[in-house]
């Protein structure tokens, strides 16, 4: 069985529809999945009759991003491939209400679809923010990984206040 990971870049309007059409990464067969499953599941697995399994991750980072330089600790929580990855450190280079872009020399340690925990302090606060996230993209040139928050479903209050500061 072949497994794939796909990032779904869909406009916000499409999420108001009942179904999203996705296609198998192996044989291209299209299938409709309920749009609202993405509200409760960060990763949606779809098995195709051809035997392939594709994991779909919704990209909703179309929000305004703020450029920052914030140290961050990243811990791997779950992954499909068993790896021994220690806690890594990096720098949050941009932040939005839905996720962060992190620069780290250890960017190769993580794969798309990995679930991680982020720990960082906003410049406006003394408290650590701890967020769960999913690795959405790798940028090898910039040694950057894009991570989307997956906890609390809604918008983090501290982060949204910071975005408006």
Residues engaged in binding Zn ion (CB under 5 A) = 24, 26-27, 29, 48, 50, 52
Q: Which is nearer to Zn ion, 27 or 39 (CB)?
A: 27
Q: Which is nearer to Zn ion, 52 or 91 (CB)?
A: 52
Q: How far is CA 32 from the centre of its chain?
A: 22
CB 112, min distance to Zn ion, A: 20
Q: Which is nearer to Zn ion, 52 or 163 (CB)?
A: 52
Q: Which is nearer to Zn ion, 24 or 100 (CB)?
A: 24
DSSP string, 21-32: EEE-TTT--EEE
CB 22, min distance to Zn ion, A: 11
CB 130, min distance to Zn ion, A: 38
The total of other beta-carbon atoms located within 10 Å of residue 38's CB is 19
CB 25, min distance to Zn ion, A: 8
DSSP H helices, the chain, are 37-40, 157-164
Contacts of 25 (CB under 8 A, 6+ apart): 2, 4, 6, 52, 54
Contacts of 121 (CB under 8 A, 6+ apart): 70, 71, 127, 128, 129
Rounded Cα gap, residues 20 and 98, in angstroms: 21
CB 3, min distance to Zn ion, A: 12
Q: Which is nearer to Zn ion, 2 or 157 (CB)?
A: 2
């Amino acid at each position: 069985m072949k497994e794939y990971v796909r990032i779904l870049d869909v406009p916000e309007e499409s999420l108001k529809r009942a179904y999203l059409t996705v296609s198998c990464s192996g044989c291209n067969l299209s299938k409709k999945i309920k749009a609202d499953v993405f509200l409760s599941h960060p990763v949606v697995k779809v098995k195709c009759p051809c035997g392939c399994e594709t994991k779909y991750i919704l990209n909703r980072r179309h929000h305004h991003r703020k450029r920052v330089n914030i140290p961050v600790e990243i811990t791997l929580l779950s992954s499909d491939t068993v790896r021994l990855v220690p806690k890594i450190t990096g720098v949050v280079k941009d932040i939005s209400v839905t996720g962060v872009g992190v620069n780290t020399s250890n960017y190769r340690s993580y794969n798309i679809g990995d679930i991680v925990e982020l720990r960082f302090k906003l410049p406006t606060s003394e408290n650590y923010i701890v967020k769960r996230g999913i690795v959405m993209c790798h940028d090898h040139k910039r040694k950057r990984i894009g991570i989307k928050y997956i906890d609390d479903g809604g918008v983090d209050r501290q982060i949204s206040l910071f975005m408006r500061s």
